[in-house]
Amino acid sequence: MDKIILGIESSCDDTSAAIIKDGYMLSNIIANQKVHEAYGGVVPELASRAHQQNIIPVVDQAIKAAGVNKDKISGIAFTRGPGLLGSLLVGNSFAKGFALVNEIPLIEVNHLQAHVLAHFIKEKDKEIKHPKFPFLCLLVSGGHSQIIKVNDYFDMEIIGQTIDDAAGEAFDKCAKTIGLPYPGGPLIDKYAKAGNPTTFTFTRPKVKGYDYSFSGLKTAFLYFIRDRVKENPRFIKENRDDLCASIQFTIIDILLKKLKLAIKETGINEIAVAGGVSANSGLRNTLFEYGRNQNLNVYFPEFKFTTDNAAMIFKLNILFHNNC
């Protein structure tokens, strides 16, 4: 019998549903919530209300796009956490109701594990190149910055993590400081392409081991902009691209310094990146180049699987990966 899994992701501000059949992704629908743009960050109450509105149409679209019969779904996987409580509750309640009515198993999935396992999503007629165990995964999203030693699909060890803000949060907050809407990460990436990364320099945090810190950088950037704008009210407008390139360069430098240390000390040469910030073109280019120079195998998920999506919420489907 076919194994058809419906995946649900609602941990933050994206409502997503995916259908995976016998280990292959057939559909992956994501509804972004534009409502947060004006606030410079996700407003939890608005996020959970938007999830409530989106969840049924998104699931419906995912089932239709996959061309499967709803009654043939054999299990439902959903994001258990971590994430915003109200947002998680919507996906969780929907999944429980769906499982109960259809008398199918309910599979809970850890959101961070799911980002790492996004490297193993399979699509028909597409060859995937995924990391081999054990590998190091730099997991960088809006809520997390971690270096994970991945020994097997469900055997992961966090060896370093941020002690305050996440890398994605640093992108978003610095973007907000220069008047860009949420989420600012993709916009910083876009404008950085036309800027000079060495125009402005910002101090790097001093944190032990493989841990990260981004809150100091965020504050330093805020004061720097405040002082420059006092001298020249047009400072941001005149320097937007260089500001974006410089802050992006600094965040990448901080991320890679600790990753390089972990590579050196563990001797692992399979390196993966996951989470929303893995969409960043500067991070991709810099790490691929480092990998080429150091004989490392570097893996980034396909662009559409970098930010939150339900295709990565597919724990059970790992069972179909026997031939990987």
State in angstroms the smallest separation of the CB of 213 from ligand KG4. 17
Site string for ligand KG4, 15-54 (x = CB under 6 A): ----------------------------------------
CA–CA distances in Å: residue 89 to residues 10, 52, 116: 8, 10, 23
Window 122-151: residues binding ligand KG4 (CB under 6 A): 141-143
SS3 of 14, please? strand
- Check: CB of residue 156 under 8 Å from CB of residue 162: no
177 binds ligand KG4 (CB under 6 A): no
Of 99 and 277, which has the nearer Cβ to ligand KG4?
Answer: 277
Which parts of the chain are beta strand (E)? 4-9, 14-21, 24-32, 75-81, 106-110, 135-140, 145-152, 155-161, 270-274, 297-299
Q: Does 9 engage in binding with ligand KG4 (CB under 6 A)?
A: no
Closest to Zn ion by CB, 189 vs 308, is 308
**Is 141 near Zn ion (CB under 5 A)?**
yes
- The stretch near ligand KG4 (CB under 6 A) out of 68-76, 91-99, 177-185, 228-236 is 177-185
Between the alpha carbon of residue 245 and those of residues 39, 188, 199, 226, 258, the distances in Å are 24, 7, 8, 18, 21
**Stretch touching ligand KG4 by CB under 6 A, among 28-36, 129-137, 182-190, 202-210:** 182-190
What are the DSSP calls for 187-235, one per residue?
HHHHHHTTS-TTSS--PPP--STT-B--HHHHHHHHHHHHHHHHH-TTH
Say whether 241 sits in a helix, a strand or coil: helix
Minimum gap (Å) between residue 17 Cβ and Zn ion: 16
Using rule CB under 5 A, residue 308 touches Zn ion: yes
- Minimal distance in Å, beta carbon 182 to ligand KG4? 8
| Closer to ligand KG4 by Cβ: residue 186 or 216 | 186
- Choosing from 75, 91, 276, 301, the residue that interacts with ligand KG4 (CB under 6 A) is 276
Pick the binder of ligand KG4 from 10, 246, 307, 317 (CB under 6 A).
307
Binding stretches for ligand KG4 (CB under 6 A) = 12, 141-143, 168, 171-172, 183-186, 189, 275-277, 279-280, 307-308
